[in-house]
Amino acid sequence: MPLFTRFPAILVFILASATAFAQSGSIKGVVKTSDGQAAPFVNVALKEINKGTTTSEDGSFVLKNIKAGSYTLITSFVGFQPQEKQIDIAAGEVTVVDFTLSENSEQLQEIVISDSRSLNEKTVEIGKAGIKPMDLPQSLIVIDKTVLENQQAGRLSDVLVNTSGIYLMGATGGVQEEIAGRGFSYGSNNTFKNGVRFNNGVMPEISSLERVEVLKGSAAILFGNVTAGGVLNLVTKKPKFQDGGELSFRTGSYDFYKPSLDIYGSVNNSSKVAYRMNTSYENARSFRDNVTSERIYFNPSFIIKAGKKTEILVEGDYLKDNRTLDYGTGAVNYEIADVPRSRFLGASWSYYKAEQKSATITINHALNDNWTLNVLGSYQGFYNDQYGTTRPNASSQFVRTDGRWVRGLQRSGTDQDYYIVQANLTGKFSTGSIKHQVLFGADNDKYENTAQAYAYENPAITGNNKNVYDTINVYNLSLYQQRTDIPTMRLTSTTENPSQRVGVYVQDLISILENVKLLAGIRYSYMESGTDKTKTYDDAFSPRLGIVYQPLKEMSVFASYANSFTLNTGLDVNNERLAPSVIDQYEVGIKNEFLKGFLSANITAYQIVNSNLAQSVLPIPDDAINKSNPQELAGEVTSKGVELDVMSKPINGISIIAGYSYNDTRYTESSQYINNSRLRYNPSHTANASVYYTFSNSFLKNFNVGFTTFYIGERVAGRSTRTTVANDTYKLMAIPNYFLFDLSAGYSFDQISVRAKVSNLLNELSYNVHDDNSVNPIAPRMFTATLSYKW
């Protein structure tokens, strides 16, 4: 039976589960200031049972699962007079309570705080279950739009300088950003946009983002075969019923310019339908000679209130990205070539063309006060075509010590269609004195992948290797005449590689006591891959168990275990396909709130062990059926480390983000590589800090200044040293550490704002390196400015 035909039965099961639970009373309302404006992030609590929440951006709040009785509902927020109201709760009914806050001048003289939530108050959408961070035995971090705007983030790597232990591991071809964390790559399986897997073969657009969520550690119970280390979720801006928008223009060094438009509002003044449209255009040269880029982006969305309990969100996403294919400055004998940072070694016409489009519909339906059903369906199409000269040192065409390099040609193409349907049922109930916050879920997705391969045969060349375009010298480009023509390449193969998977999962946050909570769950995943003649099948269970102890309301101590898995394509000595490799992850940590929630400081320690890593069987047994590189699940990779995250709410105009991470990822058992040797691309140390200050009580009112720093330690690239090779065919190459320092300033008056930024102020030089054949230097000192108008 096809996997997609199984999904309706799973959905019926989830819907049926909801009928077993009765309604209970709830409270909802809106908090406004005395001038009628919405009051976000106000604390709202029931005095008698110490149960509370904070208001959302529109000032609304909801408290669910409250036993019938009389209560005192209180609101509090720095700078406003606290308020209390006596209310009565009846089972099965919703009590509506609204507040209007008045300013407290005495408090305002003591401290000024902008509307915001602390790090440990930001529930992540990618977590599906809506668990509060203090209750979650897992590390997370959220970077919101205020940070994105202040720092004028242009690429995902600009955002991630605010996260500990998440870093750029490569920039292959200069066309994508390869992200990693805790020693493991965040590939397309680990990268999400609005909760849907996102192909990161192209740089995502940042201008449309509301926030970026990082959920560290294992997420296999939620998504199946994600690799270890964590997942990344890009959350776009949503429709609003109040009319407004922003028009901005950004410009910068190397002829960079980017106009963008963000408009939103109700459709025909409707209270049921609202829209939002984000769009931008970008065109730029580069600090790299002959390198250019051009991209266009559209992100329309609509929200439909189909009833009091049902909300439908429809989102579209389109990105077209064309840029020069650029494999960097090259390496000579596993040493970075001593050439200018700007030197381009590819053919002048080399290109990378990518197009990505998606459509997503999300339905949220409140079954009652305690139970909510979320159903999502999404399609994503991805296409790319890249053509240019080969990577330096690829295909046995190494750059010689004198700089001479024989360039070949390479071309490839990808067509990918991705479909997903998923349903999640979340709810709360009690069994006696024990409270439960549960998640039932199922998902079904499939990929239709087609890859095109091409070959070039130089008619002037005889012999085996006809893939020769021309010859250059990386140290002196004038020594040889470079070709400028674009040869025709022959399409040699079109390979289809479809895959699909289905998963069902259940998770329960059990409040054993008010300050002791247990998170337990399990997922079953079933996968098919390949065409009918080559189809393979895999399945795996992914358990999760964590405990949280809160000795104080402001402190949470946790420990957890979870596993994830990766699929293997190798064959064993009996010519049988290998089972998935299971990766065990252990995590302990402490989450703290200081200064009445103004400052969050969290520290986490972890160990990730893949003790059944696929590796070559050496020596090959005489009776082996498979004599061609048979594999076995006997290798081991271990990653361990510590992470510190610090984040403040804006206090008296000051906001702070800081972090530090230590990671050590090594082969701890291997037949292919030297035991205890480091895995490539992963720095042992990273550190980050940003401080912003906004003036409020002087002639500089609404003027802000800030700086951002990011340190990434030494790491290795090249080719991991093999135990079976006695010569220097394989070497690791050291990549220098670097320290980035950015300065920013901005000023707002009425509806207009101006921001300026100098990045890499110290003009540091380092590289992002893949193997030894894509050595891409980081950008030099650059200037960016943005002018925007909001209404």
Q: Quick one: tokens of 722?
A: 């093999």
Domain containing residue 427: CATH number:
2.40.170.20
Residue 570: the pLDDT is 85
Q: Quick one: tokens of 466?
A: 């006809």
**Residue 228, in any domain of the structure:** no
Which distant-in-sequence residues (6+ apart) come within 8 Å of 488 by Cβ?
A: none
Q: Which of 110, 127, 142 is the last residue of a domain?
A: 110
Q: Which of 71, 94, 110 is the last residue of a domain?
A: 110
Q: Which single residue is written with the structure tokens 């979650």?
A: 136
**Residue 192, in any domain of the structure:** no
Domain containing residue 63: CATH number:
2.60.40.1120
**Residue 252, in any domain of the structure:** yes
In this structure, the number of other CB atoms found within 10 A of the CB of residue 713 comes to: 19
Residue 273: the pLDDT is 95
**Residue 573, in any domain of the structure:** yes
Which distant-in-sequence residues (6+ apart) come within 8 Å of 104 by Cβ?
A: 79, 80, 81
Residues of the chain below pLDDT 50: 1-22, 105-115, 726
The 8 Å CB, 24+ separation contacts for 619-623 are 620/573, 621/573
Q: What are the two backbone dihedrals, phi and then psi, of residue 80, each rounded to the nearest 5 degrees? A: -130, 155
Looking only at the bridges linking them, the beta strands covering 94-96 and 25-33 are: parallel
Residue 35: the pLDDT is 66
Report the C-alpha gap between 274 and 303 in whole angstroms: 5
Q: Amino acid letter at 228?
A: A
Report the C-alpha gap between 789 and 548 in whole angstroms: 46
Which distant-in-sequence residues (6+ apart) come within 8 Å of 260 by Cβ?
A: 207, 247, 248, 249, 250, 278, 279, 280, 281
Q: Quick one: tokens of 410?
A: 């390479």
Q: Quick one: tokens of 592?
A: 């703290």
Which distant-in-sequence residues (6+ apart) come within 8 Å of 574 by Cβ?
A: 624, 625, 626
Report the C-alpha gap between 421 and 410 in whole angstroms: 37
CB 346 within 8 A of CB 173: no
- Kindly state the helix (H) or strand (E) to which residue 363 belongs, with its residue range: strand 351-366
In this structure, the number of other CB atoms found within 10 A of the CB of residue 344 comes to: 20
Residues 71/77/82/85 CA torsion (nearest 10 deg): -30
Q: Environment class of residue 539 by beta-carbon count within 10 Å: exposed (0-12), middle (13-18) or buried (19+)?
A: middle
Q: Amino acid letter at 727?
A: N
786 and 641 within one domain: yes
Q: Which single residue is written with the structure tokens 């995943």?
A: 525
Give the Å distances, CA to CA, from 642 to 358, 563, 600, 603: 37, 19, 17, 7
**Residue 721, in any domain of the structure:** yes
* Beta strands in 695-766, from DSSP E residues, in sequence order: 703-712, 715-718, 732-735, 738-749, 752-759
Residue 73 lies in domain: 3-110
Report the C-alpha gap between 444 and 503 in whole angstroms: 7
**Residue 217, in any domain of the structure:** no
Q: Environment class of residue 726 by beta-carbon count within 10 Å: exposed (0-12), middle (13-18) or buried (19+)?
A: exposed
Residue 17: the pLDDT is 43
Report the C-alpha gap between 339 and 343 in whole angstroms: 7
Report the C-alpha gap between 134 and 236 in whole angstroms: 25
Q: Quick one: tokens of 181?
A: 């964390």
Residue 18: the pLDDT is 41
**Residue 134, in any domain of the structure:** no
Which distant-in-sequence residues (6+ apart) come within 8 Å of 699 by Cβ?
A: none
- Kindly state the helix (H) or strand (E) to which residue 538 belongs, with its residue range: strand 536-552
CB 683 within 8 A of CB 715: yes
Report the C-alpha gap between 612 and 529 in whole angstroms: 21
CA angle centred on 167, ends 161 and 172, rounded to 5°? 120
Note the Cα 588 to chain centre separation in Å.
22
Q: Which single residue is written with the structure tokens 């008698």?
A: 48
Q: Which of 65, 93, 110 is the last residue of a domain?
A: 110
**Residue 723, in any domain of the structure:** yes
Residue 544, SS3 per DSSP: strand
Q: Quick one: tokens of 501?
A: 């998977």
Number of domains in the chain: 2
Q: Which single residue is written with the structure tokens 């103004």?
A: 598
- Kindly state the helix (H) or strand (E) to which residue 388 belongs, with its residue range: strand 371-389
* Beta strands in 230-272, from DSSP E residues, in sequence order: 230-236, 244-252, 256-266
Q: Amino acid letter at 332?
A: V
Q: Quick one: tokens of 744?
A: 């920013």
Nearest to 743 by CA among 778, 777, 713, 704: 704
Q: How many residues does the chain have?
A: 791
* Per-residue burial over 436-452, b = 16 or more CB atoms within 10 Å of its CB, e = otherwise: ebbbbbbbbbbbebeee
